[in-house]
Amino acid sequence: MKIVVLKFGGTSVGTIERIKKVANIIISYIRKRYKVIVVSSAMSGITNDLIKKSKKISNNFDTSEYDVLVSTGEQIACSLISGRLNHLGYKSKSYMGWQIPIITSGTYGSSRITNINVKKINKFLKLGGIPVITGFQGVNLNLRVTTLGRGGSDASAIMLSKFFKAQKCIIYTDVDGVYTTDPNALKNAKKIKIISYEEMLEMASLGAKVMQPASIQDARLNRIDIDVKSSFSKKNGTKITKKKNIISNKIIRGISFTKNDAKVTLIGIKDKPGIAAAIFKPLSLNSINVDMVVQNISANGKETDLTFTIKSEDLYKTQKLIKKNRKIKFRNLIFDKNVSKVSIIGVGMITTPGVTYRMFQALAKKNINILVISTSEIKISVLINKKNITKAISVLHKEFKLDK
């Protein structure tokens, strides 16, 4: 069978009129002789509303029941899509993850798909049916509903593409592809026609909100090409694929940024083996993600200053954990919420010298001070004052000729 997986995001199915347009998109692939598997997110705003309800019920809502609750939004959207397709004369049926079943493992709220039973859906496809499957969810070995984390419908689509050996996986969203940076932040941002898994993974992890990072990693591991397109436009989108499929003279492919970072600095820590682990262990146990880390050793080698970044919403909790941590001693504790992280990403920097210098020089010319630096093979991230974020994006976009 020539199978295509079509995934529709929350904005694409946000209203009844948009669901009618989605049905027409699905039919267009049927007319091209594809067997179509549809994956849908919840209608925009539904999941957030369910989360608010859980918080009104309890500050410590049971994690298993939380997954049962927030997974219901996709059920509504899939039923409406299927209902519209049936109305138009096509054979369609909605399926929840547990009905297939889509098997998951891991913790509630952030499970991963491990297996999908293909028999039921394959039989329906051969009969000319259009299955409309709930994204974002599955069922664990205890037969409890699980969810895959926010944006998890992307992961559903990618893993369905894997298990059904689909020829195409197309992610329909409210943007017409992946851009060199957020077009809302810079009007000169350009759409990227083709990008590697590695570059897209870095961009998503560093602030770009087109796709869930874990989903891109799933696509990379399973070598599934993804097309990102808009459900509101017929323009070509962006293809996410392996590096060897890309021919480009661009050293840097994109710029990502965040606006919800906070910087934490511990001054005058008694330097000894295991001190960093003692600082970070309580944060890890409380699900606080530490990002950039810089350590400075004093001249006498007895003290160290440690700086790291976290999400700003974790700042209060981090402050409490550090202050009550009896395993560490320090002279001062400083917090700064007025910071942002800017990152340049590109596989071209692996073989191109001078990229770091060009980035730092471009920022220096605009009097933008760098607070923290972190690097990998294909990205350089810097922490700067939040007030300089727009200026930094603009100068780096121009420096690496991303507007051409």
Q: What is the pLDDT of residues 321-349, one digit of tens each?
A: 999 998 898 889 999 999 999 999 998 88
pLDDT score of 207: 65
Count CA within 13 A, CB hemisphere, residue 31: 6
Give the least confident one: 86-95, 116-125, 294-303. 294-303
Distance CA 16, CA 197 (A): 34
Tokens of 240: 């996410």
- Going from the N-terminus, what domains does the chain have, and what CATH number goes with each? 3-174 (3.40.1160.10), 255-399 (3.30.2130.10)
Distance CA 125, CA 6 (A): 14
The answer to whether 385 touches 338, Cβ cutoff 8 Å, is yes
Q: What is the pLDDT of residues 35-64, one digit of tens each?
A: 999 999 999 999 999 999 999 999 899 999
Q: Around Cβ 326, how many Cβ atoms within 10 Å?
A: 6
Instruction: Give the position of tokens 């980035």.
Output: 359
The answer to whether 312 touches 337, Cβ cutoff 8 Å, is yes
Looking at the predicted structure, is the pLDDT value of residue 299 above 80?
A: no
Looking at the predicted structure, is the pLDDT value of residue 298 above 70?
A: no
The pLDDT confidence band at residue 401, using thresholds 50, 70 and 90, is very high
pLDDT score of 392: 96
Distance CA 404, CA 400 (A): 9
CA-nearest of 104, 60, 97, 80 to 10 is 80
Q: What is the pLDDT of residues 103-135, one digit of tens each?
A: 999 999 999 999 999 999 999 999 999 999 999
High-pLDDT (> 90) share of the chain, %: 74
Please name the residues in contact with 144: beta carbons below 8 A apart, sequence gap of 6 or more: 64, 67, 68, 108
pLDDT score of 249: 73
Q: What is the pLDDT of residues 353-384, one digit of tens each?
A: 999 999 999 999 999 999 999 998 899 999 99
Distance CA 278, CA 29 (A): 56
The answer to whether 45 touches 14, Cβ cutoff 8 Å, is yes
Q: Hey, what amino acid is at 328? A: I
CA atoms 97, 237, 80, 2: torsion sign? negative
236 pairs with which residues across the strands?
none
**Phi, psi of 311, rounded to the nearest 5 degrees:** -75, 140
Distances, alpha carbon 201 to alpha carbons 257, 260, 347, 380, in Å:
14, 19, 12, 14
227 pairs with which residues across the strands?
170, 239
Average pLDDT value for residue range 71-76: 97
Strands 191-192 and 178-179: antiparallel
Look up residue 379 and give its DSSP letter: E
The answer to whether 287 touches 236, Cβ cutoff 8 Å, is no
Tokens of 356: 């770091």
